[in-house]
Amino acid sequence: MKERILKTLTELRTYALQKSCDIAIDYNEEDSQLMRFANSAISLNTNEHLVHIDITAQEGRKRASYGLITNLDQLDDIKSGIDTAAEMVVHAQPLGYDPTMPVFKESFSDENAFDAALAAMTNEDKLAYFNAAVKSLETEEIKLSGIFSSGETILAQINTRSEHTQFFRSSDAQVTVVLAHASLKWEITAEQSAQARSALDPNVLRDELVFLLDCYQHSAPTQLPLGHYDIVFGSAALADLLSIMNWIGIGGGAMKRGFSMIAEESVGKKVLSDKFTLVDDPSRLETFPFRRDFMGMPRSLFPFFTKGVFQGFAWFQDDADEYGAQPTGHTVPHKSLVLQGGEADVPSLEALAKQPRTKDILYIPFLHYMNIVNPTKGLITGSSRFGALLLKPDGSVVVPYNVRLTQSLLDIFGEKVAWLSRQTVAYNTSVSYGTRNPTALIVPRFMQVNDLEISHSNSSY
């Protein structure tokens, strides 16, 4: 398949060379499978195979793009797309800067993030995984729902500036298991991300569900008073917070446009907690990485924060062109963000609950309905919804109703950080909109932040 894809791209490049403008051709092939559960049964079992071709025509400062869903047999349609892009660019409004089209100096192929065993999982395999994760936990009142999303992604590139190609292939899986009480209307959730089949372990999910189920069935729910709490964030909440930081914190283009909480003069200065070290590490296969960016630049470990000191912004090529900056190898569909673990030995939720404490600890595993309130202040808002626990000093556990946080990321990751767990986990943040783009971050299993304010507290589920 790889040889056929690259041969077809080379043939399309030969056709594109006849045009008076530069042409770039980006190939995206995805094999996507989704098994969905509801009311303790399979409610949807579907798959799709799609090939997207994106064609960019560039003539000086003018640029135009045309995309189509097709297949490798429809060369005439793709060539027609090249014709259309070349016709469009003539009428495009010139940009205020000179955009770069890559000149690949050599052909590059990376299939390290592809696992044939994961890609070949059958429906029976996935059902067996779910059955193992919830074995003996379902009842007439406790119903199963969730998803098992998996797939394979192929990306390939060529353009008229060079005969060389780039080729990337990866496999991924994202699992969410939910147990919901039919009458009381609460839910508990456990999740797992995988780049290889060996990373899938239903027993890990089951252990967490067993503990949460015991808490939610035998602990009294309560409305929390408003005020300040010491909060432990779970890996899902941490990953989503970092995803927003990626958007409004570490991008050079966002900073120049006034959409960042990090100022240009902050480079080299301490901005966050000395417990906070964040890097982009394309060697971590769990993040479905790119070892070259789409401009052909080799990618290696890139530090954003080292013990709270900001090291520098990520520069996407187009932003670098617009603002006269140096690109940093971040012209990729997603980064491979890794928040390094700390010194606390907290391998599981049950271990967290057993830790000695002198005051209430609020555990928030997920943050739902997150949004940005003020990007320049890093101010975000999010709701705990389900899965939260209030860990009492006497060792007991209380189930809190939904609470809302409205806080600055500068505080959440700032001097209020008490500890990060030594144990880390890959958390999947993939979304299903647009072409398949498997994405995961590596984060500590837990992080405690002291003295954060709860702005709203619900009186029921």
pLDDT in tens, 193-218: 999 999 999 999 999 999 999 999 99
- Whole-number pLDDT of residue 219: 87
- Whole-number pLDDT of residue 18: 97
Q: Which amino acid is at 174?
A: Q
Strands 397-400 and 221-222: parallel
Which of 218, 245, 264 is the last residue in one of the domains? Answer: 218
Between the CA of residue 188 and those of 142, 216, 238, 403, what are the distances in Å?
10, 8, 18, 16
Q: Tell me what the mean pLDDT of segment 409-429 comes to.
A: 98
- Reduced to 3 states (helix: H, G, I; strand: E, B; else coil), residue 203 is helix
pLDDT digits 0-9 by tens, 252-308: 999 999 999 999 999 999 999 999 999 999 999 999 999 999 999 999 999 999 999
Same domain flag for 286 and 138: no
Q: Tell me what the mean pLDDT of segment 144-163 comes to.
A: 97
pLDDT digits 0-9 by tens, 47-100: 999 999 999 999 999 999 999 999 999 999 999 999 999 999 999 999 999 999
Give the pLDDT band of residue 357 (cuts 50, 70, 90): very high
Tokens of 111: 């299939």
Same domain flag for 348 and 409: yes
User: How far is 336 from 346, CA to CA, in rounded Å?
Assistant: 24
Same domain flag for 318 and 452: yes
**H-state helical runs in 190-251:** 202-218, 235-248
- Residue 410: is its pLDDT beyond 90? yes
Which of 194, 218, 242 is the last residue in one of the domains? Answer: 218
- Residue 111: is its pLDDT beyond 80? yes
Tokens of 330: 């971040």
pLDDT digits 0-9 by tens, 217-251: 998 899 999 999 999 999 999 999 999 999 999 99
User: How far is 422 from 75, CA to CA, in rounded Å?
Assistant: 52
- Residue 358: is its pLDDT beyond 90? yes
pLDDT digits 0-9 by tens, 334-354: 999 999 999 999 999 999 999
Same domain flag for 277 and 195: no
Same domain flag for 404 and 450: yes
Same domain flag for 27 and 72: yes
Which of 183, 218, 253 is the last residue in one of the domains? Answer: 218
The domain tally of the chain equals 2
Nearest to 155 by CA among 429, 441, 435: 435
- Residue 327: is its pLDDT beyond 80? yes
Question: Residue 203, class by beta-carbon neighbours within 10 Å (0-12 exposed, 13-18 middle, 19+ buried)?
Answer: exposed
- Whole-number pLDDT of residue 209: 97
- Whole-number pLDDT of residue 272: 98
pLDDT digits 0-9 by tens, 361-381: 999 999 999 999 999 999 999
Scan for tokens 């030594």, then name that residue.
422
Same domain flag for 168 and 243: no
- Whole-number pLDDT of residue 186: 94
Same domain flag for 37 and 72: yes
Q: Taking all residues of the chain, what is their mean pLDDT, rounded to a whole number?
A: 97
Q: In this structure, what CATH number is given to the domain that contains residue 168?
A: 3.30.2290.10
Q: Tell me what the mean pLDDT of segment 396-404 comes to.
A: 95
- pTM value is 0.96
- Whole-number pLDDT of residue 55: 98
Same domain flag for 347 and 379: yes
According to DSSP, the residues that pair with 403 across neighbouring strands are: 457
Same domain flag for 194 and 256: no
- Residue 432: is its pLDDT beyond 80? no
Same domain flag for 238 and 159: no
User: How far is 374 from 119, CA to CA, in rounded Å?
Assistant: 41
Domain that holds residue 405: 221-457
> What one-character DSSP code corresponds to residue 237?
H
Same domain flag for 247 and 206: no
